[in-house]
């Protein structure tokens, strides 16, 4: 991926690649849609786990978005479940160091509990930030349970949350520093709308 790694749009292209794959596109069509060489797309997926688990570790230089090198990002995440368990989705909005919105993504999760949806929001934020080459990430969410579990203040007892806790922690290792912060529901209202819009088919 040496030639492609010099592409200043690579970070955004990889996000498009992941989005296309999550929609069920095959790897060839997803690569074409994202504007990524098919061989590069295959190698990208081969060197990753959970999409981008080892991406940050495998590069000597961070991925860039546009012409600006990304070091620190802030994410707001939320999960929504209509029924708890019920049809669920999560949303993520990423901001750069100047507090300008960098990107927003939402994802349908099928039937899940609210806590699972909250974890999936954190995991999606970690994946997206890693794909963009961030080294420092602050994740803001309104779930006190998930925040305290990821900060090792609470033990993870529910079997459905244990694999998500492990996945989130593995992704966190790809950064120099990750801060998981509990914020009020008022502060995550805009990303809660994103998750609910996904459930309503408005995204």
User: Of the candidates 41, 43, 34, which has an alpha carbon nearest to the alpha carbon of residue 13?
Assistant: 34
**CA atoms of 31 and 111, how far apart (whole Å):** 29
Least confident of 30-39, 75-84, 121-130, 192-201: 30-39
Q: Whole-prediction pTM value?
A: 0.70
Identify the H or E element spanning 131.
Answer: helix 114-131
Tokens at 91, concatenated:
């949303």
**CA atoms of 137 and 176, how far apart (whole Å):** 9
pLDDT classification of 60: cutoffs 50, 70, 90: very low
CA 70 to each of CA 84, 94, 97: distance values in angstroms, whole numbers, following the listed order? 36, 12, 8
Say yes or no to pLDDT of 175 above 80: yes
| Domains along the chain with CATH numbers | 2-46 (1.10.10), 68-199 (3.30.420.10)
């Amino acid at each position: 991926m040496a030639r492609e790694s010099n592409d200043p749009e690579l970070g955004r292209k990889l996000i498009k690649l992941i989005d296309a794959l999550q929609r069920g596109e095959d790897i060839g069509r997803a690569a074409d849609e994202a504007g990524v060489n098919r061989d590069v797309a295959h190698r990208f997926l081969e060197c990753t786990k959970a999409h981008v688990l080892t991406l940050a570790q495998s590069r000597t230089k961070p991925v860039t978005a546009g012409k600006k090198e990304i070091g620190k990002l802030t994410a707001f995440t939320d999960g929504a479940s209509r029924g708890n368990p019920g049809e669920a989705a999560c949303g993520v909005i990423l901001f750069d160091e100047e507090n300008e919105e960098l990107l927003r993504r939402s994802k349908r999760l099928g039937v899940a509990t609210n806590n699972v949806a909250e974890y999936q929001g954190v995991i999606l934020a970690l994946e997206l930030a890693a794909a963009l080459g961030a080294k420092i990430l602050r994740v803001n969410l309104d779930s006190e349970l998930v925040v305290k579990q990821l900060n090792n203040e609470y033990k993870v007892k529910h079997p459905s949350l244990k694999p998500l806790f492990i996945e989130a922690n593995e992704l966190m290792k790809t950064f120099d520093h990750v801060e998981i912060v509990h914020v009020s529901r008022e502060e995550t209202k805009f990303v809660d709308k994103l998750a609910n819009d996904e459930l309503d088919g408005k995204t």
